[in-house]
Amino acid sequence: MPALSQRLGRAETAAAVVMSTRAREMRAAGHNVISLAIGEPDFATPEVAIAAAAKSARDGLTKYPPVDGLPVLKTAIQRKFARDQKIDFALNEIMVSNGGKQAIFNAFAATLDEGDEIVIPSPYWSSYALTAQFLGGVAVPVSCPENNGFRLRPEDLDAAITPRTKWVVLNAPNNPTGAAYSAEQLQDLAAVLERHPHVWIFSDEIYEHLRYDGLGSISIAAVAPQLRDRTLVMSGVSKTYAMTGWRIGFSGGPAALIRAMTVVQSHATAGISTVGQAAAAAVLDAPQAMVAEMVAAYHRRRDMVVAMLRRAPGMTCAVPEGAFYVFPSIAGCIGRTTAGGRPIETDRDFAVALLEEQHVALVHGAAFGMSPHVRISYATDDASLEEACNRIIRFCEDLR
Ligand code: PLP
């Protein structure tokens, strides 16, 4: 076979994908596997989105769209940013991408040179580091200790920034910990960032509506307008509206950066599916009660999962403020042996053994840069969650 690129050697497959693939294989082999490995809402796409997609297809909205997004969606996003995050973006400060994920690729590809550093609060969603590495950047994880609610401390942020820093990534509510920030906490981080004017700020707000502390969406771009000319805010419809498969994400930021990201996107994928854009525009402009209903369900599930996992010997589980993950420590399970005779030396051992012996898939903390933890997604129906938690409790009780 002719050679593949050296760059490809820097791209690992995300652990969540590896675990859910293994779960799928085991299911195909006849096992009753419950997968809590992937951040995928179990709810159906809102009807208003489906109707808009169908109508747009029938109406002939089926030709190449503008690379940066259809005007109907860009204006809906503009209204959404103003309504939810209290940020006013001009239309040339907004672009649509294939999910939030492509916004990361666009932003990094448009700005990174070989060896540039990306400061990433850890634990983190692995895509930032993997995408940065793929593009020649260097991920600089900064530990966000559990005893600080898994939040980034301003002094740690300050210490991590060097002359080579190109981006600081913020992600709140956070995947995998659910940690979120108050306006004051964001202001403290902004005060540090103000002292480093060579740094771009990537604010991943894809879980903005999934907050259980009553504080609602809080964006650093609104809290710290002095950083607006170098802050990129990313969000999308995947998590808020249970529309992961429609692949619609969006970003708001300085016009020059958006223009550069649009150039990247024009070469990678060109415009985004027109029917998906029509669906996203409809759901963003629809009455938002459906979001409140889903958030109430996640809230209930979070409370159930935390309460149940606290009964698992060897696990300690903090209460997350947002998103749909818990990130318990399994420190008390390390050094023990499973009922099936598997030694647990690492959180990966724990995840693999739990899947093999109790048929529950989750993701080990090392994949997010913090061990020994596991990430459990509770974006799954209540009955499956309860059964999965019972299996986890049993697995921990059986450790010797
Ligand atoms: N950002 C975070 C923190 C995520 O967890 C995810 C998906 O898991 C995304 C972005 C990407 O979302 P999308 O499906 O819109 O690409």
Which whole-number Å values give the CA distances from 171 to 10, 100, 207, 244, 306, in the listed order? 23, 12, 9, 18, 22
| Same domain (yes/no): 272, 146 | yes
pLDDT of residue 286: 98
Residue 231 reports pLDDT greater than 90: yes
User: Average pLDDT of 59-80?
Assistant: 98
Instruction: Check whether 196 has a pLDDT greater than 80.
Output: yes
Give the chain's domain count: 2
Q: Residue 179's domain spans which residues? A: 63-285
Q: What is the pTM (predicted TM-score) of this model?
A: 0.96
Residue 225 scores a pLDDT above 70: yes
Looking only at the bridges linking them, the beta strands covering 374-377 and 363-364 are: antiparallel
The values of phi and psi at residue 105, to 5°, are: -60, -45
27 and 154 part of one domain: no
Please state which of the ranges 6-10, 209-213, 233-237, 264-268 shows the lowest mean pLDDT.
6-10
- C-alpha dist (Å) from residue 14 to 153, 200, 231, 268: 27, 25, 26, 21
User: Dihedrals φ, ψ of 169, to 5°?
Assistant: -100, 130
CA of 377 to the centre of ligand 1 (A): 13
Q: Which of 265, 285, 305 is the last residue of a domain?
A: 285
Helix (H, G, I), strand (E, B) or coil at 105: helix
Residue 239 Cα, ligand 1 centroid: separation in angstroms? 8
Choice from 177, 206, 327 to test ligand 1 binding pocket (greatest atom count within 8 A of CB):
206
Nearest atom, ligand 1, residue 16 CA: 8
Residue finishing a domain among 245, 260, 285: 285
Positive/negative CA dihedral, 255, 260, 265, 266: positive
Q: Residue 318 maps to which CATH number?
A: 3.90.1150.10
What length does the chain have? Answer: 400
Q: What is the ipTM of this complex?
A: 0.99
Tell me whether residue 2 is in a domain: no
Atom of ligand 1 nearest to the CA of 101: 16
Same domain for 184 and 320? no
Residue 206 Cα to ligand 1 midpoint, Å, equals 6
Residue 364 included in any domain: yes
Looking at the structure, tell me whether residues 126 and 81 fall in a common domain. Answer: yes
Of residues 214 and 132, the one with the higher pLDDT is: 132
- Asked if 93 and 221 sit in the same domain, the reply is yes
Please give all residues whose beta carbon lies within 6 A of any atom in ligand 1, as ranges.
39, 99-101, 125, 171, 175, 204, 206, 236, 238, 244, 249
The whole-angstrom separation of Cα 373 and Cα 362 is 11
CB 385 within 8 A of CB 301: yes
Residue ending a domain, among 285, 308, 342, is: 285
Q: Do 272 and 309 belong to one domain?
A: no
Task: Supply the CATH number for residue 191's domain.
Answer: 3.40.640.10
CA–CA separation, 193 and 226 (whole Å)? 10
Distance 100 CA to ligand 1 centre (A): 6
